[in-house]
Amino acid sequence: MAIFKGAGVAIVTPFKENLEVNYDKLGELLEYQIENGTDSIVICGTTGEASTLTHEEHLECIRFTVEKVNKRIPVIAGTGSNSTDTAIYLSTEARKYGADGLLLVTPYYNKATQRGLKEHFTDIAKEVDLPIILYNVPGRTGCNLLPGTVASLVKEVDNIVGIKEASGNISQVASLMHLTQGDIDLYSGNDDQIVPLLSLGGIGVISVLSNIIPKETHDIVANFLEGNVTLSREQQLKYIPLIDALFCEVNPIPVKKAMNLLGFEVGGLRKPLTEMEPENTQKLVKAMQENGLKLI
């Protein structure tokens, strides 16, 4: 059984003015997501600025989220690392806290071979009895997890059950689904490709867009899975300009700006991320207003 079907939010990590993690605000965001139909919380992913959290902060965010959500919807913990030992440590701790699943990004910077990737994920999976979603985002990691490698992992490792595909390469995703014979839970990692990946057998999205319009993102997936493909496609296309604006600078710079414009008060960014450029802010504001979002 899949960890979830539908739209999972790759939730931001809110900061106080001094850039400490704002757990009170995180609690508010979690409630907002659940109230608006989000199907799963993905904590400490790219959007959550996990790369600049200390290990202690990283694990406390996972613990806090699991406790706050309290099994109302699944919580998936981002516990990937470019060090296999570190990923094992974070993953085993997340399991102790009660996470429902793990999201494991491909090792970044190291540029592991396909053999190295297979051994990396296999070693982690052996140490933790939780369902695992692989995360392929070569544009950020410099490392592409190829379909043959994924197919081998899914066949040989019982608790590797899914993949968040953010390569942007539809042909690669089609090859993946062919080689796995659909025996993998496919999630779009790109908000502008939700419907295309659903059409190849996907069951959901792990979304940045859900931070600001959770119900609408949920509906794109729900309508497709219920057979309302035309409506799902119309909704996907409607939000393309907004999605483009959310990625006109590196994620999560624009989505945090968008949330602050909406009054969520999620704070700033930890360096080396910096505030959004004025011209890009104008583009984001325009896209948000065109979609009827009320800015403060």
Element (DSSP H or E) covering residue 40: strand 40-43
pLDDT on residue 1: 80
For helices 147-156 and 114-127, angle between their N-to-C axes, nearest 10 degrees: 30
Distance of CA 274 to the CA centre of its chain: 21
Give dist(CA 212, CA 162) in Å, integer.
25
Q: Count the Cβ atoms, other than its own, within 10 Å of residue 24.
A: 9
Q: Where on the phi/psi map is residue 265: left (φ > 0), alpha (ψ -120 to 50), or beta?
A: left
Q: Which of 213, 45, 192 is nearest to 205 (CA)?
A: 192
**Residue 68: its pLDDT value, please?**
98
83 is written with which tokens?
């060090």
Q: What is the set of domains in the chain, with CATH numbers?
A: 6-233 (3.20.20.70)
Q: How high is the pLDDT of residue 25?
A: 98
Residues with a catalytic annotation lie at 135, 164
Residue 62 in contact with residue 44, Cβ under 8 Å? Answer: yes
CA distances from 133 to 159, 186, 245 (A): 9, 9, 27
Q: What is the structure's pLDDT at 241?
A: 98
Q: Return d(Cα 69, Cα 54) in angstroms, integer.
A: 22
Tell me how far CA of residue 250 lies from CA of 49, 140, 147, 175, in angstroms: 11, 10, 26, 28
Phi, psi of 161 (to 5 degrees): -120, -15
The per-residue pLDDT string of the chain (296 residues; one tens digit each, 9 = 90 and over) reads 899 999 999 999 999 999 999 999 999 999 999 999 999 999 999 999 999 999 999 999 999 999 999 999 999 999 999 999 999 999 999 999 999 999 999 999 999 999 999 999 999 999 999 999 999 999 999 999 999 999 999 999 999 999 999 999 999 999 999 999 999 999 999 999 999 999 999 999 999 999 999 999 999 999 999 999 999 999 999 999 999 999 999 999 999 999 999 999 999 999 999 999 999 999 999 999 999 999 99
